[in-house]
Amino acid sequence: MLKGPVSISLRLTVWFGGIFFFGWVLFALVMWQDLKSTLRADRYQTLARRIDRLQDLLAKTQGDSQADRHQIFNDFAHATGNGLAEIFSVDGSRAYPSPSAAASQFPWPSIAAANGERFLHVVSGGQSYWVITRHYSLTGQSLVLLAAAPEAGNLVILQNFWRGLLTSVPILLLISSFGGYWMSRRALKPVDRITLAARSITIGNLSQRLPVSNSGDELQRLAETCNAMLQRLDSAVGQIKRFTADASHELRGPLSFTRTVAEVALRNPNTDIDSRKAFEDIVEESAKAANLLEGMLTLARADSNSVDAVLEPVDLGAVVREACSLARPLAEERNLTLSVSTAPTSPVKVLGDFSSLRRLLWILLDNALKYTPAPGQIDVALGSVSGRATLTVRDSGIGISPSDLPHIFDRFYRADPSRSQVEGNGLGLAIAKWIADLHHADLLVNSAQDEGSAFRVVFPCIDL
């Protein structure tokens, strides 16, 4: 019925409203029919009683003079029905003069040959009337007694009934729609809670579980099923993390052994020139592999929350000085200008782990060095905004395309390598992000392709 992203609550409300409306139409039709036939039966009984009384009167006044009987009939007709009564002979002529002008002009139905009673509907002067006709035999004289009553009273009742139904419909529709919406919102509230909790679960916090209500309904079963699935995922991911951590750890030994052997061979003056080249390649590649293993191990430990970082007051100025003293010779070598601006007055302090922060800054500086072609500019700035310490590394390098920007913090993600022709393993920024998270800091990036990038770490506001 409703297409597109329409909430279940809204759909249920529309269904409630629709069902209520059709139910109401059905109810109104049944009630209207019922009321109509009740009013008709009521009118019939009134007219039948009137004819009964007329019959009795005629029987009782049998011995009276004709004039007296005319008068009695006349009085009766006026007393009971605005004079709308007549007594005909079976041949259709009036047995008694009409009691009123209205009765004489009334379009009485033709006299039926058959004995018995008829109850008819007649329209006169634009008005509806019910008419009863009854054959009556009085001492050999066959008469037909007729009486009529307007239907107007019944019509007013029916009209009022319709009016009542029609005015109540918008109110009831509103009440049922609001009621339906409120009920469905209430019933689906646990779904919102589950959705919110499910959204907050990532690969990093798979041990978290969805809230389970004790309602015993489908939503409880859904939450329990999702939790069981999370449990399985958690243990599977745990196994993968343990495997990565163990593999990285176990590979470090053989790798450093290979590297040491190659370095020893390089130090040996008897090593010939061809072997020397091969050993140099081994040293270079094993350094890269060691770097990769180190990154993987760091992230594996981060995933298993097995890094016990003790956060203590750290002077960010000292972090900047150390990291920049390492970067400066590399920048000069690559014909890049490295400028550092720190807060002029008091030291900018944060709660953190010195070596992790140095590593974070080094990752940003290393990237700036790698992705900034000469001659270029790298600025490191330390400051504080609204009481929050900020550390910015800005470069005039190749920048990052908008399509890569959302992914650069993903593990092993490297933007089109053909653009930069730079060595890397795609783990640096993932580690930097983890270190920032460890310090409850935000790691933000601003970049424009071919213009440069700015990475900013914004630390939480603390009072040291």
Contact positions vs ligand ADP (CB under 6 A): 367-368, 371, 395, 397-400, 408, 413-415, 424-430, 453
Rg of the chain in Å (alpha carbons): 50
Separation between Cα atoms, residue 67 and residue 123, nearest integer Å: 32
Separation between Cα atoms, residue 375 and residue 37, nearest integer Å: 101
- What ranges in 118-217 are assigned the alpha helix state H? 152-200
- Please give the DSSP secondary-structure letter assigned to residue 110: P
Closest residue to ligand ADP using C-beta atoms: 424
Residue 51, helix vs strand vs coil? helix
Distance of CA 96 to the CA centre of its chain: 81
Smallest separation, CB 363 to ligand ADP (Å): 6
Smallest separation, CB 361 to ligand ADP (Å): 13
Smallest separation, CB 210 to ligand ADP (Å): 32
Identify which of residues 96 and 371 has a Cβ nearer to ligand ADP in the complex. Answer: 371
384 close to 436: Cβ distance less than 8 angstroms: no
Dihedral sign for Cα 47, 49, 52, 54, please: negative
Rounding to the nearest 10 degrees, give the CA dihedral for residues 99, 100, 102, 105: 70
Smallest separation, CB 414 to ligand ADP (Å): 4
Distance of CA 69 to the CA centre of its chain: 83
Identify which of residues 416 and 463 has a Cβ nearer to ligand ADP in the complex. Answer: 416
Smallest separation, CB 181 to ligand ADP (Å): 48
Smallest separation, CB 299 to ligand ADP (Å): 11
Separation between Cα atoms, residue 282 and residue 276, nearest integer Å: 10
Separation between Cα atoms, residue 329 and residue 336, nearest integer Å: 10
Residue 308, helix vs strand vs coil? coil
Identify which of residues 274 and 416 has a Cβ nearer to ligand ADP in the complex. Answer: 416
Identify which of residues 75 and 451 has a Cβ nearer to ligand ADP in the complex. Answer: 451
Cross-strand pairs, 438: none
Identify which of residues 445 and 462 has a Cβ nearer to ligand ADP in the complex. Answer: 445
439 close to 458: Cβ distance less than 8 angstroms: no
Identify which of residues 204 and 373 has a Cβ nearer to ligand ADP in the complex. Answer: 373
Smallest separation, CB 379 to ligand ADP (Å): 12
Identify which of residues 398 and 457 has a Cβ nearer to ligand ADP in the complex. Answer: 398
